[in-house]
Structure 1
Amino acid sequence: MFQSIIDFLMDFGSLGLFLHSFADAVIFPIPAFFLQVPLSLINPSQALWLATVGYIGSILGTPLGYWIGKGLGKSVLYKFLKKEWIEKASTMFQRNGEAAILVGAFTPIPFKVFTILAGCLNFSVWRLIGYAALGRATKFYVVGALFYVYGRAAEGMIDGLKYLFLAVGVVVAIGFLVFKKMRNKKTTKLNPEQQSSSTSD
């Protein structure tokens, strides 16, 4: 059934990718990657345009997925998505929500798991959109750039992309966590100094 939907959307070209990307951030269980690749393969010169259309659709769908999660809770996830996806994403969110979104933007786990979970867990919608914008841009434009530069030869690189995306997501998340930890340490150091100065006053 899902393959039939993807085939149907493919007939509409970039508009189909926009709709797929939007739905990918809301409820559709098949990532937009699986439509972006065949469309880019058909017309590599349009690959960057397709990446842009897919990216915009994904970002516009992100807040809708969030509000679905906020209104309906996890029950909607368990109806449409695999239990292991939800459990992995929940564990990532419990450890660090921002890093979970960044990694989630790259992993094979459908992105709507993260948008809906963010709503379920009352994560900031603006922070969700901000981190989603960073992660999703990377994923869409890496695929687009490969096809734009290498043409149809990029098809042979697609399998390796899955591992590359996961590695990039982990590196970005680790870098973010290190930055956040250093910033927290700096804030902690400043607070005692401010307290001592106010006490002396």
Structure 2
Amino acid sequence: MISTSIFSSSIAWAKAAYDRGLKTAGTPFATRFMLAFAVLESIIIPIPVDPLLVAVVLAKPMKWLRMALACTLASVIGGGGGWALGAILGLGIHDILAMFPEKLAAPTAFAAVEAGFASWGLILVFIGAFSPLPYKVIAVSAGLLGFGLLPFLLVSLVGRGLRFIIVAAIARHHGDPKTVIGLLSLLIGLIVGGIWLTH
């Protein structure tokens, strides 16, 4: 059994590095850290990369689109890694998740996503890529349940791309993280509501 204290320490370190990334948003370190974080968020870290993207864009507003696209690519690469974990480990992933702290493993989220895939399929991948749903859970579950890698990556690219471009564009033109989060939440609510009404 892997000690939960190791994972607690890892999460604490990630949060500390995350705070450092926010404070040094205008530096090359912040950009590199944002990209690395985007990869890891799609596999295991339960902290969204969006505030880092907002901070970097606010520090480098003229590069907002480049930062959004780079963040998208990094996140989808991480999603591919999550898909591979699910595909390779199969049902054994549940045994591995049982060794993690509940907040990190998110067993309830995994169970809900696996059930949702039966009726939603790749639509769930898009919703997970675009919305605040835990994308890492979507990625691992897609590999576990046998969804094709290429369709998964393409749908993820669209969903993550839309999300990060919207976040970066609002940050670029409004410069207020609260506005970014508020408008993004509204847009997500409208899209999810529309899908629910037509399902």
Q: Supply the distance in 2 between the matched residues of 1:148 and 1:113 (Cα, whole angstroms).
A: 30
Shift of 1:103: 0.8
- Return closer, same or farther for 1:57/1:158 CA change in 2, 3 Å cut-off: same
- Return closer, same or farther for 1:77/1:126 CA change in 2, 3 Å cut-off: farther
Shift of 1:149: 2.0
2:133 counterpart SS class: coil
**1:132 lines up with 2:156 in the alignment:** yes
Q: Supply the distance in 2 between the matched residues of 1:103 and 1:168 (Cα, whole angstroms).
A: 12
Q: Could you tell me which residue of structure 2 aligns to residue 62 of structure 1?
A: 79
Amino acid at match of 1:86: F
1:13 counterpart SS class: helix
- Output aligned runs, 1:83-162, within 5 Å: 83-150=107-174, 152=175, 154-162=176-184
Q: Supply the distance in 1 between the matched residues of 2:190 and 2:133 (Cα, whole angstroms).
A: 15
TM-score by length of structure 2 reads 0.76
2:155 counterpart SS class: helix
**1:21 lines up with 2:33 in the alignment:** no
Q: Is the 8 A contact 1:106 1:165 kept in 2?
A: no
- Return closer, same or farther for 1:105/1:169 CA change in 2, 3 Å cut-off: farther
Q: Supply the distance in 2 between the matched residues of 1:7 and 1:108 (Cα, whole angstroms).
A: 20
Shift of 1:168: 5.0
Q: Supply the distance in 1 between the matched residues of 2:123 and 2:196 (Cα, whole angstroms).
A: 8
**1:4 lines up with 2:2 in the alignment:** no
TM-score by length of structure 1 reads 0.75
Amino acid at match of 1:35: L
Q: Supply the distance in 2 between the matched residues of 1:77 and 1:94 (Cα, whole angstroms).
A: 21
Percent identical among aligned pairs is 23
Q: Supply the distance in 1 between the matched residues of 2:81 and 2:195 (Cα, whole angstroms).
A: 24
Gaps of 5+ in 1: 179-201
Shift of 1:43: 3.3
Shift of 1:106: 2.3
Q: Supply the distance in 2 between the matched residues of 1:165 and 1:23 (Cα, whole angstroms).
A: 25
Please, what is the CA RMSD of the aligned residues? 2.4
Give aligned pairs, total.
175
36-45 vs 116-125, which moves further: 36-45
Q: Could you tell me which residue of structure 1 aligns to residue 61 of structure 2?
A: 44
Shift of 1:51: 0.7
Higher Cα radius of gyration: 1
Q: Supply the distance in 2 between the matched residues of 1:89 and 1:43 (Cα, whole angstroms).
A: 36
Q: Supply the distance in 2 between the matched residues of 1:63 and 1:159 (Cα, whole angstroms).
A: 26
Q: Could you tell me which residue of structure 2 aligns to residue 33 of structure 1?
A: 50
